[in-house]
Amino acid sequence: MTDTFTHITVFGAADPIQALRVAREKRPDVILLDLGLPGGDGFLILERLKTNNLLSTIPVIIVTARELKEVEGKAIQAGAAASLQKPMKIDSLLTVIEQVMKDSHQTKGPQPT
């Protein structure tokens, strides 16, 4: 699945294996990771992303239907940049994505041209 918003392209994945493959192939600016992804533990996927040399610097936003209090601490400790609870408004999602990307670019410093 690929959707394009004004300046955002979204790549979807149906399971953990596909999610990791899409992340490796597309090298997105940010990853939205649903903890309830069918066929896998979202925290295990986050761990794999953060221990992969090619993917570890990509900020990950955790999306969950669970109470944020239950997962937020573990998510941040595991390397997530932010956490959001479903359902969410698209404006809230876009705001968090923009902030995470801004923070990521500040951390990385200027990119070579």
Residue 42 lies in a domain: yes
Count of domains for the chain: 1
The answer as to whether 22 is a domain residue is yes
Q: Are 76 and 83 a contacting pair, CB within 8 Å?
A: yes
CATH, residue 94: 3.40.50.2300
Give the DSSP H or E segment for 104.
Answer: helix 90-108
Please, what is the end-to-end C-alpha distance for the chain in angstroms? Answer: 31
pLDDT in tens, 2-20: 555 567 788 999 899 999 9
**Domain range holding 103?**
2-108
Answering whether pTM is above 0.75, one says: yes
pLDDT band at 38 (very low <50, low <70, confident <90, very high): confident
Per the domain annotation, does 18 fall within a domain? yes
